[in-house]
Amino acid sequence: MGKILQVGIRVQVALATALMVVCLAALMSFVVGKRSGSDLQNQIGLGVSDIARQMADELDRTMWTHRGEVSVLSTLSVLRELQDTQEISSIINRLRREIPIFTWIGVLDRDGTVVAATGDLLVGANIAQRPVFQYGKNGQFIGDVHDAKLLAEKFPLYNGEPIQFVDIAVPLYNEDDEFTGVLATHLSWEWADTVRKSLFSGQGIHQNVDIFVVAQDGTVLLGADGGLVGAKLDLDALGEAQRNHIGWKINTWSDGEEYLTGYAPADGHLDYDGLNWSILVRQHVDDALAPVHQLRRDILLWGVVLAAVFSFISWWAAGFLVGPIGKMANAIEAMKRGEIDKLPDVQGAREINILSRSLQALLAKLTEKDAALGEMQHIAHHDKLTGLGNRLALDVYFEHAIARADRKKGELAVLMLDLDDFKPINDRFGHAAGDDVLREVAKRLRRCVRGGDLVARLGGDEMVLVCNVEQDGAAEATMLAERILHEILMPFITGGNRVSINMSIGISLYPGHSQQPDQLLENADSALYVAKARGKNGYVLYSDDMAQQEIKPSRA
């Protein structure tokens, strides 16, 4: 009878547990798989759109840079006067050798005749009807991608196709402000393909992506290994990019296949307005979402495996529940027969459960207390908006950092940071956009420092960075300041708006400028005011004469 009872309970417990685990595993597989798959798909899409944005930024910055180079070249007096063609030829040929992206550079007189050119190509030819002269004589001109009309036979094919150019031209004026000619340049379009191949080839889940540069009318200017070049696209993603949106979509392309398509506009850089290009980055939907499908399969598989494992464990564990019950039943029968006068101590499920519940309750209380203390400590030491340290964290860090610097005979660099013209962002786009910018600034600052350094927010847009440096602390601190300025110079995207902002930095060193934390901060603050006064977007290393300044300029 006891064996039948034992087997019956054991089987019932095992079956009940197995059924519960199977149902729970199925439910978790569905919920977690759906939620995780959706999050992962969005993450992959954002990664593709980020590649498009980076490609657009790289193209715009490159065009902005070379436009500036042409403008600077046009200020040389020898070019403006057009007297010494031999010297002009030497200058432009040297520039061509140093910067090969300038495939052809020519200097045209006021009638459109080429008087000097790289490699002497087209010297003596009149190209007054070409856009570089027609538009260049009226002001700075940047022409879109086009075939080489006059130079096609002078240069080798690229990817089996004739070479293409982007034009930059500026007018030339002598010292009497008289128009003397045009400085015309052809930039080989190969550089854009080089950017596509080398900088944005894709890694990890973004391997095998195709990157396209599309003109304003939808014509493909640059494609994957020449694919679709010259064709016109009609895609939702392209329309979004032309409306200055950044994001991703799943679109059906001209080959009938679905691709996860990231998009971004190439809308210029600083004072360069761009050529209204759009950047599309596509990855076949099966390749792009393969991790999503694999995740769902893995969750389902692990759910089934865990259900089988827990079913076996529950069947095995049921024996420990039945054993004490059988022992108690035998003891009761023995008492009935008068063989014993008291029940023996039985170690079984009840006692184990009581102990388990007690320990669990105690552990839960201790865990709650530790979690609460940890949360309170985190709140006390961190800025709520940016997650950076606050003034309290800065004071604590100074104690340990100064002691460590003294032990290692090293130095500390204190960088006082303040955003230039931050208030107009709040006024124009709202405080939510300003908060987004502050959070992004915090992320970029974290990327600039090492693990043992501290970035803290003192309030508003004022932050401070404390880092350990070697013996040549001034050199390391200024290099860090330059890296920070470079990071902050990159545009911010908030609410679909591109925001540019600069930063001023003041630097002081421990122990050279002071051995007291408060004085170090004050010295760095004095250097920051000097940086602001010098035109902002720069850094200044503290010097003793700054302490004599009584009137400090505004930080606005």
CB 103 within 8 A of CB 155: yes
Q: Which of 455, 420, 415 is nearest to 540 (CA)?
A: 415
Please report, to the nearest 10 degrees, the dihedral formed by the alpha carbons of residues 468, 474, 480, 484 taken in order.
Answer: 120
Q: State the Cα–Cα distance between residues 194 and 277, nearest whole angstrom.
A: 17
Q: Would you list the DSSP string of 138-196?
A: GS-EEEEEEE-TTTGGGS--BTTB--EEEEEEEEEE-TT--EEEEEEEEEETHHHHHHH
CB atoms inside a 10 Å sphere around CB 8:
11
Q: Nearest 5 degrees, angle CA 36-CA 42-CA 47? A: 125
Percentage helix, strand, coil for the chain under 3-state DSSP, each rounded to 5: 50, 20, 25
DSSP 483: H
Phi and psi torsions of 428, nearest 5°: -85, -45
Q: State the Cα–Cα distance between residues 534 and 474, nearest whole angstrom.
A: 20
Burial class (CB in 10 A: 0-12, 13-18, 19+), 357: exposed
Q: Nearest 5 degrees, angle CA 545-CA 549-CA 551? A: 165
Q: State the Cα–Cα distance between residues 72 and 90, nearest whole angstrom.
A: 16
CB 295 within 8 A of CB 284: no
Residue indicated by tokens 């529950």: 314
Q: State the Cα–Cα distance between residues 407 and 416, nearest whole angstrom.
A: 25
Burial class (CB in 10 A: 0-12, 13-18, 19+), 553: exposed
What amino acid positions are annotated as catalytic residues? 461
